[in-house]
Structure 1
Amino acid sequence: MSIFRSLVASLLLLCLSSVAMAAPQRVKLTYEATRNGQPFATVNETYRQEGSRYRIESVTKGIGVYALFGERRLTSEGEVTAQGLKPEHFELHQGDNEKRSLYTDFDWANNLLKMKVKGKLNSVPLVAGAQDISSFVYQFMFVAPSGSELILPVTTGKKLRTYHYHIDAKDELMEVGAGKFKVMHLSEAVQDEDGKELWLAVEHHHLPVKLRMIDDKGSKIEQVLTHIHIE
């Protein structure tokens, strides 16, 4: 039995090593964000993997009058597994307004997603493969979308939602500030206020080249890649 367990453990470690080696260890992305076609912010994102641990940080800095709202900072950290990213903790902060901060813990041992909003804790059943709004696009580095649709459970920090996408195209060409990319286009199968339309770089680990969403005021928000660095 001990030999069998050792063999299983070795196979699991080999699988994890293969996944980890295939994906980048460091990623830096910069986006220009626009609202209804007008620039309003710069988004800087970093992904770092150290051994079997990862950390993602996203910082949005407003331009002009939007700078008065303060930085929007998101962080996600957790484990890199044979299935990709397994978040353990997520935070969202908007400027110095603590009332707008969100804290989320993924309690995998007890299958609970614990979300703290305005100081109040809300726990819901944790779905296998669940991601947060920072980690879910980096999960594509490990498990690329395939077939004709994608269904993924994602927490916004306030609730756990199911993102449902149609995979409309897999080899479109898109030219942005960061260069020319072959992209995969994912469109929402069901429109909701939290979903995003995505264009992923097929030959660059399926990292996002462009994101589009409609905010709660009906404005069209877009993020377009202006700089990419991968190690």
Structure 2
Amino acid sequence: MADAVSSFESASPAAAESTRFDLARGLARRRGLLATPRRKLTLALAASLVLHLLIGAAADVEPPEDKSITLAAKLMPLPPPPVPVATPPAPKPKQKPKRPKPVVAASAPVAIVADPVPDLSPVAPTAPESAPAAEPQVAAAPPPPQPTPPPPAPEPAPPPARMPPKKINLGYTAFLGEQKFEVGPVVLQFNHDAARYKLRVVGRGRGIAALLYPGTFTGESEGQITAEGLRPDKFTEERGNPDKRRETIFDHEKRLLRVPDKEPIPFEGSPHDPLTWIVQFYFSTPKTDRVTISVGTSRRMDVYTLERAGEEEIELPTGDADPVTGQRAVKRVATQVWKGTRKPDADGRPNGNATFWLSPEWHYIPMRIKVVNAQGRSASFELTAISTE
């Protein structure tokens, strides 16, 4: 043994290096794939990837529910709008009968009785008796004031003489920004029963928009169909989950918008919500070139003054898509352009604007809508489909 050690020490450095390499190689052969830390890390990553693939293939994962509504891309002819009912003139209020003035009776005269036999004997002069004082006249007390009856609560306008179809669906494509980044389809559903209506919209981003704007937006409006259009009573919205549900009440008797966590806000002009003002012109054709609309949301009241700014022809896809190319025929539609600004804040700074492209041929259904907020960010909607039942 001592001879072997002495011979190893006397060997050259090259021989010693070769001997160490042979020892390392033999150790690697004994340990296999786990011989080095790098090999251990590589093997762990490969095992993790295989495990995830196996779990994904075996597990039954349910995809998230898509609450968005799909509407066939076709523009159906829209029936004429409701016809207002002719209201008779209000009867003139009857005049109250005048109360007769009270009559005060005069005091009775004093009777003077003479003696039957005159006394001619001289009588000492005496002071003449004073005549009895007349009774004072007492004025009649005025009648007590009658309490003034409170003014009657304003009643909604009567329903139209001809009602709209039971169901109307309007399909739009939503865009964000001036470059028109497509968010996804939006379907506005209208139905009614016994002059009560419901408007509902469900929107959910698709593709990249679903990553940037996750969740589903749901809005619902309920109210009355009148000869002057839709009159909302309640508007609810839900952003993402039921915990974010908010409800807004339209108090028409006091002309107040009751918003959660805020003081009531008074109406200005015709009160609407974010859904009814989209279709208001269909239910009530504009009679002037200038209208003021209050749009009550679950957070505030926006007041818009819209004016007819001119006419413009726009291109809209109509009919079914071509089975080969997938393209739809394009039709030029004449529209009226209505533009308006939102009422500025107390500081007077601009507060955004809105533009509607209304088509008389399609009974003033908006072909396009563009809304710009106070910060200059815009959202636009383009009509792609109409269906009725």
- TM-score normalized by structure 2? 0.50
What's 2:168 paired with? 27
Equivalents in 2 of 1:219, 1:106: separation in Å?
28
- Whether the aligned pair in 1 keeps the contact of 2:220 and 2:235 (CA below 8 Å) is yes
2:337 to 172, 175, 185: 185
2:379 equivalent in structure 1: 221
Q: Of the candidates 73, 81, 105, which is equivalent to residue 226 of structure 2? A: 81
RMSD: 2.7
Distance in 2, matches of 1:216 and 1:83, equals: 30
Task: Write the deviation string for residues 125-178 of structure 1: whole angstroms up to 9, x where unpaired.
Answer: 3456311111112221222224332211221222222211121125x3222234
Unaligned runs of 5+ in 1: 1-6
Listed one character per residue, the Cα deviations across residues 76-110 of structure 1 (whole Å, up to 9, x for unaligned) are 110111222110000122111734x4310112234
The aligned counterpart of 2:135 is: none
Distance in 2 between residues matched to 1:75 and 1:137, nearest whole Å = 13
Indicate yes or no: 2:288 matched with 1:161.
no
* C-alpha separation in 2, matches of 1:17 and 1:97: 36
Equivalents in 1 of 2:205, 2:238: separation in Å? 14
- Structure 2: any 5+ residue segments left out of the alignment? 1-87, 91-154, 319-329, 343-349
2:204 paired with 1:61: yes
Select the structure that is richer in strand: 1
Residue pairs, 1:131-210, within 5 angstroms: 131-170=272-311, 172-178=312-318, 180=331, 181-189=333-341, 192-193=351-352, 195-210=353-368
C-alpha distance in 1 between matches for 2:372 and 2:160: 39
CA contact (8 A) 2:341 2:354 kept: no
Q: Identify the residue that residue 109 of structure 1 maps to in structure 2.
A: 253
1:40 equivalent in alignment to 2:161: no
Please, what TM-score do these two structures have when normalized by structure 1?
Answer: 0.80
CA distance in 2, matches of 1:164, 1:126: 13
Structure 1 position 43, deviation (Å):
0.8
Assess, with a 3 A threshold, how the Cα gap between structure 1 residues 8 and 144 changes in structure 2: closer, same or farther: closer
> Deviation of residue 217 (structure 1)?
5.5
The residue type equivalent to 1:82 in the other structure is: A
The CA deviation string for residues 45-89 of structure 1, in whole angstroms up to 9 with x for no partner, is 111121210110111110223224211111111011122211000
Larger CA deviation: 184-193 vs 196-205: 184-193
Matched residue of 1:196: which SS? strand
The number of aligned residues is 214
Letter of the structure 2 residue corresponding to residue 209 of structure 1: M
Code of the residue aligned with 2:246 in structure 1: it is L
CA distance in 2, matches of 1:230, 1:63: 26
Taking the aligned partners of 2:226 and 2:287, their CA distance within structure 1 comes to 20
Whichever of the two has the greater Rg, that structure is: 2
Map of 1:96 onto structure 2:
241
